[in-house]
Amino acid sequence: MNKQQGTVKKWQDDKGFGFIETEAGESVFFHVSEFKAKRRPDIGEVVVFSIGQDAEGRKRATQVQELGFVQQKMAQKNQQIRQRNQKRSHQAEFEAGQKKRSFLGLAFYGVLALLAATDKLSWLVFGWYVVLGIITYGMYAKDKAAAQSGDWRTPESTLYILSALGGWVGALLAQTYLRHKSQKPEFRVTYYLTVVVNMAGLLFLLAGGGLEAVTDLLSELL
């Protein structure tokens, strides 16, 4: 039923009925049993209602509610819709971030595998990165579980060291999929510094410790 808005113009409390004046100026009968508030109607108050018919086919107002109550319910519903839309938007952004970080991690391992396959890097180094990545991811998972249960936490310095030694991909995936240590700015800044340190160390290793070798290596790759 379509809802209409009107004003209570007449009310006979002893008889339990009254009349609502619609916005079109029409007078519509309503009974107290159709008034949904836990009180009696007041003359002059604005109400929202539907149009129905009685047993004899005469027009009457049904489901009569206070305008303020209806507005409150509509505001709550709109708020729920906004929250739901925001949640969906945040989830979409999170999933997009997951894909980018996952691609970055897989791309890094792919580059290491390519370097190892072309004898520019030892397979032991490749294995080191993979194993340390798994260990680092596990340490993040353990620390999150400890945080939730109130147990002994893993020191952040340990997570930094693991990342700097080569487990930064595992840390990146843990921050993304476990949503752990992903909202703390200070931690994130230090984490990125460990990535820079590790990349510098990897380039130094690939170059054999010389600046000229780094230049030659980059020239070959490009």
* pLDDT tens per residue across span 3-13: 899 999 999 99
Amino acid letter at 29?
A: F
Cβ atoms < 10 Å from Cβ of 45: 14
Output the pLDDT for position 214: 43
| Sequence-ordered list of residues with C-beta below 8 angstroms from that of 200, at least 6 positions apart, any chain | none
The token duo for 42 is: 């007041």
Query: pLDDT tens-digit profile of 51-109?
Result: 998 888 889 999 999 998 888 888 889 999 898 888 887 766 766 776 888 888 889 99
Which residue type is seen at 5?
Q
How far apart (Å, rounded) are the C-alpha atoms in residues 150 and 159? Answer: 19
pLDDT, position 210: 43
pLDDT given for residue 95 in this prediction = 65
pLDDT at site 91: 66
CB atoms within 10 A of CB 185: 7
Q: Could you tell me which CATH number the domain at 4-72 has?
A: 2.40.50.140
CATH 2.40.50.140 domain span(s) along the chain: 4-72
21: β partners: 7, 27
